A and B are shown apart, each in its own frame.
Chain A
Amino acid sequence: MTEQQKNTLPVTETRLERKKEPFDPGYFLRKNVVPIFFLVLCIIGGYYSGLSLPFLANEIITRMARNSFLVISLIIPILAGMGLNFGIVLGAMAGQFAYVVTVNWEMAGLSGFLMTCILSVPLAIVFGWLTGRLFNRAKGKEMISGIILGFFANGLYQLVCLFFMGRIIPIRVPSMLLSTGVGLRNTLDIKAMHYALDNIWKVRIKIPGFVFPIMIPMATIAVIVVLCLFIRFIVKTKLGQEFRAVGQDRHIAEVAGIKVDRVRIIAIIFSTVLAGLGQVIFLQNLGNINTYGSHVQVGTFAVAAILIGGASVKKATISQALLGTLLFHTLFIVSPLAGKNLVGDAMIGEYFRVFVTYGVIGIALALHAWQSLQQRKTVTVEAASEPVSGGGK
């Protein structure tokens, strides 16, 4: 080192700047392989199902309005590095318990619906808090813990609904109970609150040549838009920043003074509360509750949807959630019919449906795995400096 250099101290002469990546179609395809694969599947399925476009559109809109909320509820835990929150099943249970109460109070219409929403929140907070505490004891294994927790909670739920309702928990409305007077019936009628939200404002679009108009539940869609804005807002707050920091590296976040365990619990509470509200919205559209079944697959369906949208265990955006809901439910509608038309067997159609729900989770995960492998091979800058917690310099 010469004297002269020591004086000028050039830390570096090349200023590091952000670079604009040129658009590369190959990269775009690889990056979006999951949604593109399912989009192609949807188009093929749609073609062979023989359904008319307006009918299909109607079905899709209904299902989007019904399910988006639940799918979006998965985003925050993913941001916080907790993976896919299968624990939203507990949120769904909270929503259903809230309905049991309002039906028992013989409430109806919009006020009944709003009351159900309000009641579901404290329940969901408690459930979320418990889930969060469990996840904090099983760090890194949140997903499998969530699935097992779902089974376990379902057992408790059945216990409460079958043995406590009508015995320990007084139920006023006899039609809710089984003929023995103890335990809830298989289906809980919530006709009084059917479409309570959807009917506030519906837009009908008449398509010439078709009997049924396309119905758009504007009020429900407005609620979903508000939710999306809410999520975007949260991400831009201090709390959102903590979610993201914890999601990237718990250890570093902790050293920076972030209360990691607390942040994780808050993330799960958010998710559970949103799932609870999502289930309330879902059920008002359906008009009845399958007491022992409605909640069971909420987790699996929502997870399948968000994965199809291109989200991964580590990264999810609102548009991925919405796109995923769209693709998943389109597949859900067209696949049984397409299966039947292609193979000529009604059973095949049902088989297709089962395949769609579980198969897609598998396929989406496999495609994600393939994708990260590709990334590793092309060695992007990202892959080379992949976060490894701890480590030396």
Chain B
Amino acid sequence: MVVARLEMRGISKEYFGNKVLKSVNLSVAPGEIHALVGENGAGKSTLMNILFGMPVIRNTGGFEGKVFIDGKAVDITSPEEAMAHGIGMVHQEFMLLPGFTVTENIKLNREITRPNFASRFFGEKLETLDFYRMREDAKKALRRMELDLDEMLPVAGLPVGFMQFVEIARELDKETLNLLILDEPTAVLTESEAETLLQVMKRLSSQGISILFITHRLNEVLQVADNITVLRDGEVVAELESRKATVDQLAELMVGRKIEVTSRSERHSTENVKPVLSIRDLHVDMPGESVHGVSLDVMKGEILGIGGLAGHGKIGIANGIMGLFPSRGSVYMDGKEVRLNSPISALNSGMAFVSEDRRGTGLLLEESIELNIAVQAMQSQDKFLKKIILLRIADMKAIREHAQKMIKELDIRCTGPDQLTRRLSGGNQQKVCIAKALTLEPSILFVSEPTRGIDVGAKKIVLDLLVRLNQELGVTIVMTSSELAELRSICDRIAIIYKGRLEGILPIDASDRDFGLLMAGELSYHRKEAS
């Protein structure tokens, strides 16, 4: 038998008395792609953080159990040591320095240097950076993923999908790499980007690199993984070969119950309804997702889907309207013009936004869940405030009650409304973002990639919730998503964006072929041909 590249035995971990891993075993062979699946908060990231020696583990009292690399027991206490053992990790949250260029990020702490006069006396820390060779390396790593990206761009402002590839490029650039941990790498990618990534993973594994892969997209698991470990509430509930597994079976194992697919029974017809939001010739300068003149009407009470390939601007529309990126054009809500480039006036006119970029929406990581949920409503709508004499202070009781309601409705897995959002698992942070937008009680809700990083069970909850909001409260919803299936399951109509322009709007029952043609811009191609 081959010696396992990685073996973790009896791993247990407690966070402040909360047992999040209970004697977990995991084994990965050389060149194997091993998938780790489980609900939000099941402990996947925690297990990987242990393996990678993340400071958060040490700072919260360490862990129990043993880790073996290539058969030898190792004691990994810092990321540096993990790297020395050939482990690379792409974290669930971004680990890129926004002010650094792509090259600088890829080569972070592994810079290529050349000796100079000073370094001869004071050691290699004073060696000069060799930017030319660093750029060459960065280019090489990016090329391995077929990514055409200027390696001297600053990371700040890159679209999230690109950031993800930069992170993977950073790991690929490590020559000693033989075990790659990918914590939800595809969550921020579109289907086609994800596809590219899966192929890169396969290529790497054929070169002998073992990969530990966490994802909530179960079909990806079946596509690339050799073996699958399913975690539920910190325990391994199953280990299976992916050849023998099915999506339904995995989903059931993860959640412990059966899950049906969301679909709406009744859909709105958009005829004879007047538009609540009219977008005219909108241009948005969002790097990598720029919009070049979109005109679109959103009907009252509908759920409008916006789809398209990455980089074509579907993400830019909501970001532009909400004033997060410089934009021009005009947007009318109920016939009144909404000021662009002003997040406040967008909020005040009754729009709310769940961003695809959780960092951008500004979760206050050092604050409690309840405060995060309430803060925007307090600021822009004077909610949750009570008057005491002249001062207006936060009404903590109302905030708590509201937060508890949200936690229940969205199934946010936490120890209570006063838990810091930093201590939530990634998917549960996403749910807090949604709760925050809902608290504004918007008449139009923009949601971008709402189910990104959310497990199958929670995904259903979120989609159901959107439908309920729409049906019961009459909220008009504009949902941007890279998953066509998701758009189809709840939308009334789906607008496809191509090269920053509206390519066409299709009903949900249009064929795959039609959607594909629109996304690839075939239609406008033929139009040009004809004229």
Contacts and interface: CB of A to CB of B under 8 A. Distances in A.
Interface of A: 1-2, 4-6, 9-18, 233-234, 236-242, 244-245, 248-249, 251-258, 377-382, 384-393
B195 A256 contact: no
A17 B154 CA distance: 10
B113 A237 contact: yes
B153 A252 contact: no
A390 B93 contact: yes
Interface string B143-156: 00111111011001
Contacts of A380: 326
20 contacts: A11-B148, A11-B196, A16-B287, A17-B153, A233-B118, A237-B127, A238-B127, A241-B104, A242-B125, A248-B100, A378-B341, A379-B324, A379-B341, A384-B157, A384-B325, A388-B362, A391-B363, A392-B93, A392-B358, A393-B358
A393 B187 CA distance: 8
Nearest 9 pairs between A and B by C-beta? A12-B311, A2-B516, A257-B80, A381-B157, A391-B359, A392-B358, A256-B109, A239-B125, A392-B429
Interface string B361-378: 011010000000000000
Given A239-B126, A384-B157, A391 B358 contact: yes
A248 B99 contact: yes
Majority SS of interface residues in chain B? loop
Nearest to A260: B55
Interface in B275-307: 285, 287-288, 290
Contacts of A9: 146, 192, 195-196, 199
A11 B192 contact: yes
A1 B191 contact: yes
B124 interface: yes
Chain B interface category by residue count: 35 or more
B310 A11 contact: yes
Interface string B90-105: 0111111111100010
B148 A15 contact: yes
Given A18-B153, A256-B95, A393-B187, 16 more contacts: A1-B515, A1-B516, A5-B309, A5-B519, A9-B146, A9-B196, A14-B290, A236-B128, A237-B129, A239-B125, A257-B79, A257-B109, A382-B156, A384-B324, A387-B97, A393-B359
A385 B98 contact: yes
A238 to B, nearest CB: 5
Contacts of B160: 393
A390 B93 CA distance: 6
A319 to B, nearest CB: 19
B512 A16 contact: no
A245 B109 contact: yes
Given A6-B195, A16-B158, A237-B125, A255 B79 contact: yes
B360 interface: yes
A380 to B, nearest CB: 7
Contacts of A16: 149-150, 153, 158, 162, 287-288
A245 B519 contact: no
Contacts of A18: 150, 152-153
A6 B97 contact: no
Contacts of B161: 12
Contact of A238 (B126, B165, B285, B422): B126
Nearest to B512: A2
A267 B347 CA distance: 43
Contact of B97 (A5, A11, A234, A248): A248
B430 A392 contact: yes
Contacts of B324: 379, 384
Contacts of B341: 378-379
A255 B54 contact: yes
Contacts of B153: 16-18
A381 B484 contact: no
Contacts of B54: 255
A302 to B, nearest CB: 25
A66 B51 CA distance: 54
A391 B111 contact: no
